Amino acid sequence: MSLAIFWVIGVWWTNGLARAEASADANRGVSANGSLLKSEMQKFRLIPILVTEHPDVFEVINRPDPKHIQKLNHTLQLIAERTHASDIYVMNQNGDTFAASNWQQPDTFVGHNYRFRSYFIDALRTGSGSYFALGTVSHRPGLYLARRIERAGKAIGVLALKIEFFEVERNWAFLPGYTLAFDQQGMALIASQPALRLHSLTPLSAEERKQNETAARFPGLGIDPLPVERLANGDFEWTIGNRHVRQVVARLPLREEGLTLCYFLPLNPFIAEQRSRLVIATIALGLVELILFGLWARVRIRRGIQRRYLIDLERQVQLRTRELEASNASIRAESAAREEALRSFREAREALARANRLTILGAVAAEVAHEINQPVAAIRSYAENGLALQDRGRHGVARDNMAKIISLTERIGKISDQLRSFSIKRQSEIDRYSIWDILQGALLIIGESLRHSSTRLDYDESELAQVHIKAVRVQMEQVLINLLQNSLEALGDRAEGVISISAHCDAGKAIITLADNGPGIEEQALPSIFAPFITTKPTGMGLGLGISRDIISSFGGTIQYRATPGGGATFDITLEAV
């Protein structure tokens, strides 16, 4: 029942989250697409102003002979190619086109009259005009920008430039959903999907259709409404084939261009993502309820067993009581037996509780023992050496050993604090350290073992001091201690045993390499070397590499094993460099 309530509330909540997330994405998308469209339009608005001042334009108007017209044709063609304009053409004051950038094409504008176009009329009357329409010759839609050509303050012609937005539409198409630019009539003039272009958001009125026919804006084209329905909450439902796709919309008014940019973004992917999260949360809640139910059932069963036992015990007591009425000695014997049975029951119950506690403590003790085993061994070694030095009268060196023992006890305290922090999941202090700082701390623990072995430790202090990472120092020291201890045990008494430590930075990563020339790790053991409680050493607990991997992973890094060429083991630790 609780899961059903959680699911119903979750569906309502996630639907709201999905819509809010989709609306935010739609707003970002319409802003980006609007900037692209405005940039494209601003670029072309300057061209008519500049071209009307070109000497070739006035030359043709003054002397409209074939030579000058041909020169202007080439000039307009060059400007169109350089600016990526669709077409540029020049008309006289009667609307006759006598020069155009597409003069060589079959559908050239040369020889056509465009005095019926509103952009021509507006340019003659006010100096400039713009109009979005379907080309009467090319039959391709575009925005026409017109500029009046003047001489001595008198209009002598009009220069027009046509912009086609196919490149803008191709860029819009990379985003999911649909991007459309509507005029004041609700006509989609520019669209990310060509099939949606020149359709209306709502059916056009009879008056609007008549206006378009009178202006020859879309000759021979029936304007059908888009397959979309506005919902009560402001969303839109598109009909695509046999599917109904619900979409949110973000609008951006482009007042200078006289357009409204709309970005329709499908809502279903956002709902599906939120629904997936809800399913995961519901499953998690179900598992929690199942675990709690299992614990509750276990308690009930245990209490039932205890109750039945007590009932049986009470019956036995009653039976014994009746029997004891016949004999005082028998009563005392039965009473003692009853007390013994109760004592045994209490002891068994206490033993069960102790066993349960010991099971939990055993797992913790194994980890604690492994963590502090090396500091304790080092303390013992320093203490034994200190006694020997004291006997020899070398009190200064013995005092140094005592100081090291104090440092090691602090180390054990840090390990205990760290384990306690881990048990309550508290964030440990992370700081910036060099690899040399960390190695020095590790050598404080394991340095004595190295000095009493025949193994040589190779490293470059300056190299290690130049590589820095962010980590919990005591944990990283423990990683190096575990790896050094493993190498020492693998090398044993080998006469030419060598352990090398190096570090370098590569592509923002700090790579720490520890290698030895020991026997390496057997191939069949490689898949489980990081698994807990699995070891190839007769006295090992199998925790060191597993703990090291967990520590490195907690800092966002990795630890990998590879065989050393010529024999031996190599571990590569990769962390973020700082």
pLDDT digits (tens, 9 = 90+) for 34-59: 888 888 888 888 888 888 888 888 88
Centroid of chain to Cα 444: 41
User: Same domain for 119 and 237?
Assistant: no
pLDDT at 565 over 70: yes
**Tokens for 354?**
């102790």
Least confident of 79-88, 172-181, 269-278, 531-540: 531-540
**Percentage of the chain modeled with pLDDT above 90:** 14
User: Same domain for 115 and 192?
Assistant: no
Average pLDDT, stretch 531-555?
73
pLDDT at 533 over 70: no
Indicate the number of domains in the chain: 4
pLDDT at 485 over 70: yes
pLDDT digits 0-9 by tens, 339-391 = 887 687 456 434 433 443 343 334 344 445 656 777 788 888 888 888 888 88
Q: At what angle do helices 66-83 and 2-51 cross, to 10 degrees?
A: 150
Contact predicate 81/121, CB 8 Å: no
Q: Are strands 259-266 and 178-182 parallel, antiparallel or unpaired?
A: antiparallel
Task: List Cβ neighbours of 485 (8 Å cut-off, separation of 6 or more).
Answer: 374, 446, 449, 544
User: Same domain for 455 and 561?
Assistant: yes
Domain boundary (228, 251, 270) is at: 270
Average pLDDT, stretch 193-214?
68
In a domain, 549, yes or no: yes
As a whole number of angstroms, the distance between CA 176 and CA 193 comes to 11
User: Same domain for 25 and 65?
Assistant: no
Task: List Cβ neighbours of 146 (8 Å cut-off, separation of 6 or more).
Answer: 48, 119, 120, 122, 123, 128, 129, 130, 131, 158, 159, 160, 161
User: Same domain for 380 and 436?
Assistant: no
User: Same domain for 436 and 564?
Assistant: yes
In a domain, 189, yes or no: yes
**Distance set, CA 151 to CA 36, 114, 559 (Å):** 36, 21, 81
Question: Domain holding 90: CATH number?
Answer: 3.30.450.20
What phi, psi does 389 have (nearest 5°)?
A: -65, -35
Provide the pLDDT for residue 294.
Answer: 87
pLDDT band at 212 (very low <50, low <70, confident <90, very high): low
pLDDT band at 530 (very low <50, low <70, confident <90, very high): confident
Provide the pLDDT for residue 367.
Answer: 46
- The one-letter code for the residue type at 22 is A
User: Same domain for 202 and 56?
Assistant: no
pLDDT digits 0-9 by tens, 145-198 = 999 998 877 888 899 999 888 888 888 888 888 898 888 777 888 888 888 887
pLDDT band at 543 (very low <50, low <70, confident <90, very high): low
User: Same domain for 155 and 194?
Assistant: no
Provide the pLDDT for residue 383.
Answer: 85
Provide the pLDDT for residue 350.
Answer: 41
Q: Are strands 468-471 and 498-506 parallel, antiparallel or unpaired?
A: unpaired
As a whole number of angstroms, the distance between CA 560 and CA 548 comes to 11
**Distance set, CA 515 to CA 72, 323, 477, 563 (Å):** 78, 80, 17, 9
Contact predicate 471/430, CB 8 Å: yes
pLDDT at 231 over 80: no
Average pLDDT, stretch 137-141?
74
In a domain, 138, yes or no: yes
Contact predicate 143/130, CB 8 Å: yes
User: Same domain for 553 and 456?
Assistant: yes
Query: Could you tell me which of 139, 71, 149 has the C-alpha nearest to residue 109?
Result: 139
User: Same domain for 379 and 483?
Assistant: no
User: Which burial class, exposed, middle or buried, applies to 275 when counting CB atoms under 10 A from its CB (0-12, 13-18, 19+)?
Assistant: middle
User: Same domain for 69 and 8?
Assistant: no
What rounded mean pLDDT belongs to the chain?
Answer: 80
Domain boundary (116, 145, 164) is at: 164
In a domain, 312, yes or no: no
As a whole number of angstroms, the distance between CA 557 and CA 264 comes to 42
Predicted TM-score (pTM) of the model is 0.43
Query: Could you tell me which of 370, 450, 462 has the C-alpha nearest to residue 412?
Result: 370
Task: List Cβ neighbours of 181 (8 Å cut-off, separation of 6 or more).
Answer: 37, 188, 189, 190, 191, 254, 259, 260, 261, 262
**Percentage of the chain modeled with pLDDT above 70:** 84
In a domain, 220, yes or no: yes
Question: Domain holding 558: CATH number?
Answer: 3.30.565.10
**Tokens for 195?**
């099939």
User: Which burial class, exposed, middle or buried, applies to 135 when counting CB atoms under 10 A from its CB (0-12, 13-18, 19+)?
Assistant: middle
Domain boundary (164, 180, 208) is at: 164
Domain of 370?
Answer: 355-426
- Distance linking the first and last C-alpha atoms of the chain: 52
Q: How many helices (H) and strands (E) does the chain have?
A: 13, 18
In a domain, 563, yes or no: yes
**Distance set, CA 74 to CA 48, 78, 82, 282, 379 (Å):** 16, 6, 12, 71, 94
Average pLDDT, stretch 304-325?
86
Helix (H) or strand (E) holding 570: strand 569-576
Query: Could you tell me which of 67, 71, 43, 46 has the C-alpha nearest to residue 57?
Result: 71
As a whole number of angstroms, the distance between CA 254 and CA 236 comes to 21
Provide the pLDDT for residue 362.
Answer: 45
Provide the pLDDT for residue 539.
Answer: 52
What DSSP character marks residue 578? Answer: -
Centroid of chain to Cα 305: 52
pLDDT band at 217 (very low <50, low <70, confident <90, very high): low
In a domain, 321, yes or no: no
Task: List Cβ neighbours of 467 (8 Å cut-off, separation of 6 or more).
Answer: 434, 435, 503, 504, 505, 510, 512, 577
User: Same domain for 477 and 408?
Assistant: no
pLDDT at 542 over 60: no
User: Which burial class, exposed, middle or buried, applies to 192 when counting CB atoms under 10 A from its CB (0-12, 13-18, 19+)?
Assistant: buried
In a domain, 314, yes or no: no
Alpha helices in 494-541 (DSSP H): none
